[in-house]
Structure 1
């Protein structure tokens, strides 16, 4: 049944918009429920036209205009091409984020960006993993991807930014100096050298095994941390004096190697059969160091639900420097962090040092 014909004075009015004592009202074309549209004629007309385009059945042409076809996969393509190169991620970081991007592409890639709502983002993030830490990572990367869609003009707002921020606490046990010593006692010499090098310099595992004798010159150990190379461009010149100087001398043993941390392989292999990341038969790969550390930790009888890994030596070293009187900013410089907040995160979880104080108050007599 057709509705009543419009009054001649209202023939140019949008369908479903009517005069009202308080201005204008809009009648939902399906539910027939009426909604006030205020007194501003121009705004009421614009709102009515937009509502009709969205709500009136069979309005396929409008739908094609509103959803031109750009998908999340298209936004990911833009992100990979235009955004990622400028981030200058280290190889390991790039590998982690690429895994997240591929899972987002598998879950939402075929969805039009115009149809990605806050609820769609929240549902995906909750269902893709049960880990609070991983959920926060997916939220972050999805936000980056949809930001590209906003910048391309495909959508007006980024729905991922309106989703819940997930918080997580560190589950891995912090490494105490007593546990460090117990593991050190059970470790082979090359692992001891690696542990001491990380403790004294606060270098990451990857930088510990990459350090070469050629990097020791002019009384210092020169290091460009792999995680910051090309991004924050941190370059460290660590004075090779005191305990560090003694350690570097100890690393020069009977094994001929270009690397400070080295070991003879248990079984010699031809160069064409070596791991692709190994350029010398004495080179230690990061995962080898982690496994050897875990073996020594188990031999030391360290029991915990989430036992400390080699990475925790870096945190322990920072805590020892803090106890020795270093400021957070000084420790930040050695750790190569771009901000002090990250340094404070590393220092968290260790027992605070006792502060020697005296009181100047006298008890009343």
Structure 2
């Protein structure tokens, strides 16, 4: 596209410099942030030319002579090549982090790493999002990237480490037995089955919709949780007792499907218009399960700023098992957690069970 012709009164002006009342202002070519440059024309022109040489990629004539300086984008390339494969992220985790990396690259990828200061990192993290949780995620990933620059010898210290840590707390309401019953009453049969299976097995949303009839063998459900696949290598062999067996029997209906949780689509679509991850036309996608639960929850009149999601069925199921006398370690194994503290975190907010104990026989007199 041909650039707009500069007005006659601004012929010879440096790029990104503009009049500002009785002085001049400079507009950052990447962030578009404007800075007042004073009233001295010669100084403003000289400063704008110097800034353009530094901030506009490929515009540094000195760098062309002495050699190009490594940029944040170069550090991202090293991170992708050398670090990411060893992290062995699950597909969903990799997708989230890749989105963060792309936004970092778009925001400050052209900056030479040796010029990135603590202030630059702090300003970028604050400007990129208003969510403290997301800011902490950007801080984490940017720290990993700049650590690669340190390890390559491009810079001596990681400026991200000196930036503020953002504290955040998830504020999601717990699902009670009464709420569960109310949502269940408003749910379609396939959603009721998904809820009940999650309540009994404590499986996550993605694992519930991925269950197949072929996973049932030798009196058990054989499950490798998707969130831990490739990381903690948790494998679950869930015994099929009377309760779970009755639920699995319900799944054997008139619809021919390889999936335990299934439904016929409301509208037939050609195969090239289906979701890329859909392997069978009766398959329920995780997002469909989430939306269906939300609709049933709203129909039950359960609203608020942070109403419980389908995932809260998992913590409710764990709380019900502790009420039935299960130990934390037993619930931990079923949830597939690597630590009891994580299981206890899931059970927070539910009423602690009463334990029967015998009084001691020691007297003080």
TM range (shorter): 0.7 to 0.9
Which residue does 2:211 correspond to in 1? 211
Give runs of aligned pairs for residues 1-365 of structure 1, distance below 5 A.
69-356=69-356
1:112, 1:168 → 2: CA distance? 31
The answer on whether the counterparts of 1:321 and 1:331 sit within 8 Å (CA) in structure 2 is yes
2:324, 2:147 → 1: CA distance? 45
Q: TM-score, normalised by structure 2?
A: 0.77
**Alignment RMSD, CA only?**
2.8
1:362, 1:328 → 2: CA distance? 30
After superposition, the Cα gap between the structure-2 partners of 1:362 and 1:88, relative to the gap in structure 1 and judged at 3 Å, is: closer
Cα deviation for residue 357 of structure 1 reads 5.3
After superposition, the Cα gap between the structure-2 partners of 1:70 and 1:260, relative to the gap in structure 1 and judged at 3 Å, is: same
2:341, 2:111 → 1: CA distance? 37
Which residue does 2:14 correspond to in 1? none
Q: TM-score, normalised by structure 1?
A: 0.77
The answer on whether the counterparts of 1:89 and 1:227 sit within 8 Å (CA) in structure 2 is no
Classify the secondary structure of the residue corresponding to 1:221. strand
Which residue does 2:32 correspond to in 1? none
Cα deviation for residue 161 of structure 1 reads 2.0
Cα deviation for residue 162 of structure 1 reads 2.3
Q: Cα deviation per residue 1:195-225 (whole Å; 9 max; x = unaligned)? A: 0111111111111111000000000000111
Q: Which segment is superposed worse, 355-364 or 269-278?
A: 355-364
Cα deviation for residue 150 of structure 1 reads 1.6
Classify the secondary structure of the residue corresponding to 1:86. helix
Q: Cα deviation per residue 1:160-192 (whole Å; 9 max; x = unaligned)? A: 222222111112211111101110111111001
Q: Cα deviation per residue 1:50-84 (whole Å; 9 max; x = unaligned)? A: xxxxxxxxxx9x99999961111111111111111
* Equivalent residues, number: 306
The answer on whether the counterparts of 1:67 and 1:114 sit within 8 Å (CA) in structure 2 is no
Bigger radius of gyration = 1
Is there any run of 5+ residues in structure 1 with no aligned partner, and where?
1-59
Cα deviation for residue 259 of structure 1 reads 0.3
Q: Which segment is superposed worse, 243-252 or 263-272?
A: 263-272
2:140, 2:322 → 1: CA distance? 32
After superposition, the Cα gap between the structure-2 partners of 1:110 and 1:361, relative to the gap in structure 1 and judged at 3 Å, is: same
Q: Cα deviation per residue 1:254-297 (whole Å; 9 max; x = unaligned)? A: 21110000011122334344322222111111111111111111
